């Protein structure tokens, strides 16, 4: 499921356009999800958000403990950031010009 | 208000097949006026929204398209159309070159050959595959893309498809499309059965929860012949995240292992359905949990796995890291999913000829909605799209532009005025629980008998009646109502197909407890045509072509 940081959202609407389920809307110039249970977890909104205002989070029934997954997209690389509940940050960089090894 | 369009080619669904068809049609003839109608945004719509990890249909060195046909027929336990498989397989490597030209990164060796994963796969970076297709199609001025518009149904003139009508998902706008030729390129159907998780994670499922079988439903309502719906697909997945397992099995050679440490898969065979049956049976006999054995993989292999999953199913990478249970130290638990109807993996879908022409005039089908041709994956969808593009160009000059047909917007608007005792969600759950309990869902280990199927049919009919009274507060609600009704339409036909195949062919996907064994009498295709709400079963020989 995703969670939206209302402080960081500037209401640009990019996530509203991109969501494959038409789940996101703008409410008072801030992104909002109609029903978080309907999120597929595809992370299209996480990748397109220019402000890191949307994160993917594993729900408790999927083994989640509150860590958040953010992404910074650029033409050549996708940089993922995992923010754990104890404040630890883990960065994973995927070079878009390289194929998967498996 | 209603917006009207007149085009040469109407493409319904902006996924792999739909966009590739638009690209190839435009390259063949840049004068072709095309409109692609997509209910989300073509950049990230459908089942490839988060990316894809490999091209899973490719003819590797030393192999032929005929080898691919044999593989697919064997995997389907004989229930597939060889003519469709061959015409697809002959184009797999050709369309792989095209998608590389459009910008997909494909791994190559020092001599410039694609690096193969097994003999049927090539390694890629497929995270942005939809963005690549969307950017490619945008370059053609003859193609118009309509995002956030949902097609509700075909427009018919007798048995001829002459376009379609739909509605905006955001604004209250209705759409009327007149087209010489229509390509149905929507996705398969998820959400008919109760999923692995309920509540907060109800959409943490394998296939896109937004692929609701719209194309199947439109075809069924229009009386198109359909094939092999009873060959449901059940995916073998990583437990909880429902992330793919192929990358573990093929990437690091991880084998299935049960809680007693036994490598059991050899007892079951190695077709797609047998691999699922292996897990279901081990669980049934008390030897769960089942895992893919990843303990002991190298640090480098682990890094590659983390990256590979970020490119298609980020939840799995997050889970490994967040839970401090990396695959090198912990085996990955696996499970089967709820059943799906999907022609890209199994043989369910429209009954088509070699040109991918359906039984309805001027209607073609490609990708997940096209039946008879399993194991097509992304490149197979491209191949079918290209076949359609060529077929359309051959016939387009002979077809006159149809006069626009008015449709009754009242059929759509009535949902705004309705007063229902139930919500859309409540009816969706009613459908899913009935299909799960009585039509071989996940909690029943995919098992059913005919008495249960009869009960399922009655329940689905009742729920369908209730759905006529659902209330829509806005256009999004209207979309949800249509999606539910599409699933109900598919479920009704699916039940009839399950009843008709009086044997158990793919135990991992479906077990008919009245007929628990394979019966070679059923070396045939179960087809159907629905008219006036009644589904008539037609048995066809495996060698039957269309018409």
Q: Which of B49, B317, B322 sits opposite A44 (nearest CB)?
A: B49
Question: Contact B105/A96, CB-based, under 8 Å?
Answer: yes
Closest residue on chain B to A69 (Cα): B318
| B490 close to B217: Cβ distance less than 8 angstroms | yes
Residue A44: list chain B partners with CB under 8 A. 44, 49-50
| B489 close to B216: Cβ distance less than 8 angstroms | yes
Closest residue on chain A to B150 (Cα): A22
Residue B238: list chain A partners with CB under 8 A. none
Q: Identify the pLDDT of residue B251.
A: 87
Question: Contact B53/A96, CB-based, under 8 Å?
Answer: no
Question: Contact A17/B311, CB-based, under 8 Å?
Answer: no
Q: Is A38 on the interface with B (CB under 8 A)?
A: yes
Closest residue on chain B to A43 (Cα): B50
pLDDT tens digits, chain B, 547 residues: what are they? Answer: 999 999 999 999 999 999 999 999 999 999 999 999 999 999 999 999 999 989 999 999 999 999 999 999 999 999 999 999 999 999 999 999 999 999 999 999 999 999 998 899 999 999 999 999 999 999 999 999 999 999 999 999 998 999 999 999 999 999 999 999 999 999 999 999 999 998 889 999 999 999 999 999 999 999 999 999 999 999 999 999 999 999 999 889 999 999 999 999 999 999 999 999 999 999 999 999 999 999 999 999 999 999 999 988 999 999 999 999 999 999 999 999 999 999 999 999 999 999 999 999 999 999 999 999 999 999 999 999 999 999 999 999 999 999 988 888 999 999 999 999 999 999 999 999 999 999 999 999 999 999 999 999 999 999 999 999 999 999 999 999 999 999 999 999 999 999 999 999 999 999 999 999 999 999 999 999 999 999 999 999 997 764 4
**B1-233+338-399+407-547 and B236-336 agree in CATH topology:** no
B35's tokens? 């409109």
Residue partners of B271: CB distance under 8 A and separation at least 6: B74, B75, B76, B77, B506
Q: Is A42 on the interface with B (CB under 8 A)?
A: yes
Question: Contact B105/A67, CB-based, under 8 Å?
Answer: no
Question: Contact A80/B314, CB-based, under 8 Å?
Answer: yes
Question: Contact B105/A21, CB-based, under 8 Å?
Answer: no
What gap in Å lies between CA B222 and CA B317, rounded to an integer? 44
What gap in Å lies between CA B104 and CA B95, rounded to an integer? 12
> What domains can be seen in chain A, in order of their start residue?
2-95 (3.30.70.20)
- Asked if the bond preceding B115 is cis, omega within 30° of 0, the reply is no
DSSP letter for A87, please: S
Which spans in B29-81 are helix H?
65-75
Residue A60: list chain B partners with CB under 8 A. 200
Domain ranges of chain B: 1-233+338-399+407-547, 236-336
DSSP letters spanning B36-79: EE-SS-TTT-GGGTT-EEEE-----TT--HHHHHHHHHHHTTT-
Q: How many other C-beta atoms can be found within 10 angstroms of the C-beta atom of residue B319?
A: 23
Residue B167: list chain A partners with CB under 8 A. none
Question: Contact A80/B128, CB-based, under 8 Å?
Answer: no
Q: How far is CA B378 from CA B225, B342, B375, in A?
A: 24, 13, 9
What gap in Å lies between CA A99 and CA B99, rounded to an integer? 14
Question: Contact B310/A40, CB-based, under 8 Å?
Answer: no
Q: Which CATH class is domain B236-336?
A: alpha beta
Per-residue pLDDT, averaged over A62-85, amounts to 95
What gap in Å lies between CA B429 and CA B414, rounded to an integer? 23
Residue A39: list chain B partners with CB under 8 A. 203
Q: Is A11 on the interface with B (CB under 8 A)?
A: no
Q: Which of B39, B305, B319 sits opposite A63 (nearest CB)?
A: B319
- The pTM of the full predicted model, rounded to 2 decimals, is 0.97
Residue A96: list chain B partners with CB under 8 A. 105, 125, 127-128
User: Is CATH 3.50.50.60 correct for B1-233+338-399+407-547?
Assistant: yes
Q: Identify the pLDDT of residue B545.
A: 61
Q: Identify the pLDDT of residue A70.
A: 97
Measuring CA to CA, which residue among B159, B161, B208, B157 is closest to residue B182? B161
Per the DSSP assignment, residues forming a β-bridge with B160 are B157, B361
Q: Identify the pLDDT of residue B547.
A: 45
Q: Is A15 on the interface with B (CB under 8 A)?
A: no
Residue A19: list chain B partners with CB under 8 A. 40-41, 44
Question: Contact A100/B148, CB-based, under 8 Å?
Answer: no
DSSP letter for B490, please: H
Closest residue on chain B to A65 (Cα): B322
Q: Is A44 on the interface with B (CB under 8 A)?
A: yes
């Amino acid at each position: 499921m995703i969670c939206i940081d209302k402080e960081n959202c500037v209401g640009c609407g990019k996530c509203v356009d991109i969501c494959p389920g038409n789940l996101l809307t703008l409410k008072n110039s801030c992104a909002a999800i109609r029903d978080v249970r309907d999120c597929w977890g595809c992370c299209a909104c996480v990748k397109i958000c220019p402000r890191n205002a949307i994160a993917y989070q594993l729900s408790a029934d999927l083994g989640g403990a509150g860590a958040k997954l953010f992404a910074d997209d650029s033409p050549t690389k996708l940089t993922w950031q995992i923010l754990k509940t104890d404040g630890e940050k883990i960065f994973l960089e995927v070079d878009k010009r390289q194929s998967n090894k498996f | 208000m209603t917006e009207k369009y007149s085009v040469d080619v109407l493409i319904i669904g902006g996924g792999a097949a739909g966009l590739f068809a638009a690209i190839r049609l435009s390259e063949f003839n840049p004068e072709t006026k095309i409109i692609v109608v997509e209910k989300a945004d073509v950049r990230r719509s459908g089942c490839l929204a988060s990316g894809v990890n490999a091209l899973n249909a490719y003819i590797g060195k030393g192999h032929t398209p005929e080898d691919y046909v044999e593989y697919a027929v064997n995997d389907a336990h004989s229930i597939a159309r060889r003519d469709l498989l061959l015409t697809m397989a002959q184009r797999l490597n050709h369309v792989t070159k095209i998608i590389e030209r459009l910008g997909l990164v494909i791994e190559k060796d020092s001599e410039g050959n694609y690096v193969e994963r097994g003999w049927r796969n090539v390694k890629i970076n497929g995270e942005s595959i939809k963005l690549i297709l969307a950017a490619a199609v945008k370059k053609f001025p003859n193609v118009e893309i309509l995002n956030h518009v949902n097609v509700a149904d075909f427009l018919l003139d007798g048995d001829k498809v002459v376009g379609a009508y739909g509605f905006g998902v955001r604004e209250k706008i209705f759409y009327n499309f007149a087209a010489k030729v229509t390509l149905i390129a929507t996705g398969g159907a998820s959400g008919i059965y109760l999923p692995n998780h309920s509540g907060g994670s109800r959409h943490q499922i394998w296939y896109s929860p937004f692929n609701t079988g719209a194309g199947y439903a439109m075809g069924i309502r229009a009386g198109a012949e359909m094939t092999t719906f009873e060959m449901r697909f059940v995916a073998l997945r990583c437990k909880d995240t429902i992330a793919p397992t192929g990358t573990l099995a093929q990437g690091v050679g991880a084998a299935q292992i049960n809680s007693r440490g036994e490598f059991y898969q050899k007892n079951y065979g190695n077709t797609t359905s047998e691999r699922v049956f292996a897990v279901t049976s081990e669980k049934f006999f008390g030897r769960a949990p089942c895992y893919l054995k990843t303990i002991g993989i190298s640090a480098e292999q682990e890094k590659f796995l983390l990256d590979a999953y970020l490119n298609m199913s980020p939840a799995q990478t997050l889970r490994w890291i967040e839970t401090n249970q990396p695959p090198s130290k912990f085996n990955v638990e696996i499970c089967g999913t709820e059943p799906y109807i999907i022609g890209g993996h199994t043989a369910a879908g429209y009954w088509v000829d070699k040109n991918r022409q359906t039984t309805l005039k001027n209607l073609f089908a490609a990708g997940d909605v096209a039946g008879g041709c399993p194991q097509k994956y992304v490149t197979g969808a491209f191949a079918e799209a290209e076949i359609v593009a060529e077929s359309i160009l051959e016939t387009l000059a002979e077809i006159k532009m149809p006069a626009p047909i008015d449709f009754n917007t009242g059929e759509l608007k009535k949902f705004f005025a309705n007063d229902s005792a139930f919500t859309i969600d409540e009816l969706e759950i009613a459908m899913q629980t009935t299909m799960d309990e009585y039509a071989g869902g996940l909690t029943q280990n995919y098992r059913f008998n005919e008495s249960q199927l009869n009960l399922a049919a009655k329940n689905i009919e009742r729920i369908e009646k209730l759905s006529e009274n659902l209330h829509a507060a806005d256009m999004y609600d209207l979309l949800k109502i249509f999606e539910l009704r599409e699933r109900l339409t598919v479920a009704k036909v699916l039940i009839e197909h399950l009843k008709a195949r009086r044997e158990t062919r793919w135990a991992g996907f479906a077990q008919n407890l009245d007929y628990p064994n394979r019966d070679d009498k059923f070396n045939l295709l179960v087809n159907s045509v629905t008219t006036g709400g009644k589904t008539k079963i037609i048995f066809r020989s495996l060698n039957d072509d269309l018409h």
